Structures are given as structure tokens and as C-alpha cells.
Structure 1
Amino acid sequence: MTAPDPLRIEFHLLDRQIVDVEGQLVGKVDDVELAPTPDGSYRVVALLAGRQALADRVGGLLGRVLRWLRPGTVRITYDHVRDVGNHVTLSLRAEVLDVPPLETLLRERVIGRIPGAGRAGE
């Protein structure tokens, strides 16, 4: 896996597009899950994508509205991240992720019809 050193969550991960090993759009990094290390620092354990993760990050009234509109979070363990650059590339295919049905429907029927949407990994 290649990642910037040091990895800055707010700059290198949050709000970046996530693409699978074949370049297909998976979603966007809405939040990250951290775990403490023995030396007192933290490491990234998982990427969280979906409106519920974004709602938890935003909080307040807007967060409650986002949670109500589109519940569900996709949790991608960080060991599946192949590369962190202008987007986050996974080492697996999108089909193996547990994507909420509404996210799949919107990706196929709405976002997939936008010109250029199929080139997210470029």
C-alpha cells in the first residue's frame, strides 16, 4: 500500500473518492475509524462511507436530516486500501462490499448516467 508520509486524515482521506481495484466508483470517504496504538498515537482502522457516517461527522440538524434521508454506512477496513492519492484505491472489487441498497440504486440509475461518471478512477 502506498500512502503519504505522514498521512493527514483531513487532507489525504476525508471527502476523497473511493474506487475499487478496477476503477469503479465505490463512494466517498465520509469519516474514518481510529484505534489507539501502544505509543499513544492513533492509526486508521477503517474508512467509512455513506450518509450515516457523514451525518455523524457533521452533527446537529443537518446530520439528523442526512441520517433520516439515507441511512447506512459502508465500512472498509484500511488493510484493503491499496493507494492514497487524488482518490483512494482499494485492493478489492466493489461487489464484495456491503453497500446499502439505496446507494447501489442511486449509483446505477442516477450517478451512472452522468457523463464522465464511469471515469472516477482516472
Structure 2
Amino acid sequence: MTTVRMQLGQHLLDRQIVDADGLLVGKIDDIEFAVADDGTVFVDALLTGTGVLGQRIGGVVGRLLIRVADRLRDRQPSAVRIRYPLVERVDSAVRLRVRLDELPPAPLEEYLRRRLIDRIPGSDRASG
């Protein structure tokens, strides 16, 4: 495992996540840590999503974001969890080794697809 030192609040939080093709995935709303067998703490995953952002912000606005995320998720995780080994590099954005379609869909996008887009006549023939 390669060790890189960085100030997480400055170098990761709120940074844009970009896939291997340069498409925007989202912004980093939180960071998930893990502990190795030797006791070393490391970044395990980057989290993005309305519910995660709401937890980080807190207060009235944070609770509102969490309620919106809970309403939209329909038994789905309220965050997209991106394992840190999928990160190619961190510069002005966090650049991934994988394409957007290889990641789990964002809960809001899934909700809109199921509840709105799929109900539009002919949507099953739309080009992707």
C-alpha cells in the first residue's frame, strides 16, 4: 500500500469526482476510514450523496437534506460509496480509474429514473 500524506479537509472534502472519461460523478461529501491489521488508519472510501452531505452539515439544513435523501432512496443506500483504490490521482479533482457506468447509480438519479423517466412513453428507446 502506498502512503500519501494530505490534509483531508483541504484535499478531498468538497472536491469534484471525475471518472476515467472526464465525466462528473459528484462531489466528495464525506470520507470513510478503515483500520489495517497493524493499526494504521487509512481512507477506505469516498462518499457522495445528499444524505451524507446533510449529516456533515448538521442543523436544520442538514436534517432537511437527510429527509430528502431518505424519501428518495426507496430502500437503496443514501450515498454512493467509491472505494479509494478506484482513485487514480488527486489534483484539482479526484480522478477515478473507472468509468461512471461502473459505479453504483446515485440515489437521486435512480429515483428519478424509476418514478419519472421510465413512465415517459418511448423512454425505453432513448439512446444512452
TM-score for the superposition, normalised by structure 2: 0.71
Query: How far apart in 2 are the matches of 1:8 and 1:39?
Result: 22
Match of 2:106 in 1: 100
Match of 1:66 in 2: 65
Match of 1:113 in 2: none
Which is further off, 23-32 or 57-66?
57-66
Query: Gapped runs of 5+ residues in structure 2?
Result: 71-77, 113-128
The count of aligned residue pairs is 104
Match of 2:119 in 1: none
Give yes or no for the alignment of 1:77 onto 2:83: yes
Query: How far apart in 1 are the matches of 2:101 and 2:83?
Result: 15
Whose radius of gyration is greater, 1 or 2?
Answer: 2
- Cα deviations by residue, 1:8-54 (Å, 9 ceiling, x for unpaired): 21011000000000000000000000112455442100000011111
Which is further off, 56-65 or 78-87?
56-65
Match of 2:123 in 1: none
Match of 2:75 in 1: none
Pairwise CA distance, 1:70: 3.2
CA RMSD of aligned residues (A): 2.4
Query: How far apart in 1 are the matches of 2:109 and 2:55?
Result: 18
Give yes or no for the alignment of 1:26 onto 2:32: no
Query: How far apart in 1 are the matches of 2:54 and 2:83?
Result: 20
Query: How far apart in 2 are the matches of 1:58 and 1:101?
Result: 19
Query: How far apart in 2 are the matches of 1:16 and 1:100?
Result: 17
